[in-house]
Structure formats: structure tokens, C-alpha cells
């Protein structure tokens, strides 16, 4: 695969391939936007593709950098990202609160397939988009059933 690249999480977990970026609605748990980038693209740089037009963004440690803050303010959003342990202004109580808000929507990421089946960014983006549509259809059925 000529488009795939090596990605790294932390300093000891490496993979070859692509990275998915997903935006989830906090009220309904429905996937709003998805994109696929090469694995060497940082999370914060990929956020500009899935950033909503307004509201708050509750994100993990990969989005606590300046490019993510810039992407959020450009779209008129407030970025509430968990700070890394070595960052100034680390507030563990605030981070725990943000994690509590994010926790119910982490199920989206647990259901997404971790391996890709195709070569190329475009084909993998289409596969990710189809997975998001299927996830949303299941989610809509749950929401419809619970509201009665």
C-alpha cells in the first residue's frame, strides 16, 4: 500500500496503515462526521476535518495541542481536552469530569473495526463511512425504542 504510513501512539506502540477521526454527538451518541488520514497525521491535525461548527468538544490527550485549539476556535467551538500529565495547568478533577462526560460515547470507538480491508485512503474512508451509517442506524433504533 503506497499511501499507508507508520503511526505511533506514545513511544512504544506502532502500526502501519491509517487513522480514523470521528465526531460523535454528545446528546444522542450518533456519529456526525468521519474521516480517514494516513497514520502519521497527528490527532490534532486530523480534527479539523471532523470539527463541528459550534459547541463544546470533549477530547482525549491527543487533542490538547495548539493545532487542535486553533481548529476549534476557527469553527467557533470550545475545546475541553484532557491535559497530559507533564503539562502546566493540569487539573485532575477537571480531567476526571471531562472523562465522565466522554465515557458513554466511547462505545462508538469500541465498535469500530481496528483493521482496514482496502488499500488507499479513499477506499478506507468509504468503508469507514459505511460503518458509521450502520452504527447510526442501530443507534437510531435504540433511540426510537427508548422514546417510545
C-alpha cell at 74: 476557527
User: Do 59 and 78 contact (CB within 8 A), yes or no?
Assistant: no
Find, among 36, 39, 66, the residue nearest to 49 by Cα.
36
- SS3 for 76? coil
Whole-prediction pTM: 0.81
Sign of CA dihedral 126, 132, 135, 140: negative
User: Residues 52-73: pLDDT tens digits?
Assistant: 888 888 888 888 888 888 889 9
User: Residues 70-128: pLDDT tens digits?
Assistant: 889 988 999 888 888 888 888 899 988 988 888 777 777 777 777 788 899 999 999 99
* pLDDT tops 70 at residue 4: yes
Amino acid at each position: 500500500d503506497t499511501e499507508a504510513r507508520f503511526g505511533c501512539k506514545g513511544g512504544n506502540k506502532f502500526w502501519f496503515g491509517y487513522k480514523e477521526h470521528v465526531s460523535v454527538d454528545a446528546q444522542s451518541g450518533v456519529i456526525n462526521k468521519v474521516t480517514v488520514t494516513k497514520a502519521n497525521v497527528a490527532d490534532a491535525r486530523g480534527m479539523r476535518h471532523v470539527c463541528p461548527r459550534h459547541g463544546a468538544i470533549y477530547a482525549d490527550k491527543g487533542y490538547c495541542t495548539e493545532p487542535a485549539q486553533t481548529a476549534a476556535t476557527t469553527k467557533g467551538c470550545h475545546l475541553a481536552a484532557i491535559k497530559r500529565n507533564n503539562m502546566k495547568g493540569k487539573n485532575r478533577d477537571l480531567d476526571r469530569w471531562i472523562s465522565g462526560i466522554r465515557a458513554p460515547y466511547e462505545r462508538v470507538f469500541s465498535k469500530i473495526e481496528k483493521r482496514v480491508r482496502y488499500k488507499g485512503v479513499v477506499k478506507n474512508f468509504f468503508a469507514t463511512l459505511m460503518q458509521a451509517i450502520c452504527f447510526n442506524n442501530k443507534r437510531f433504533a435504540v433511540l426510537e425504542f427508548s422514546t417510545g
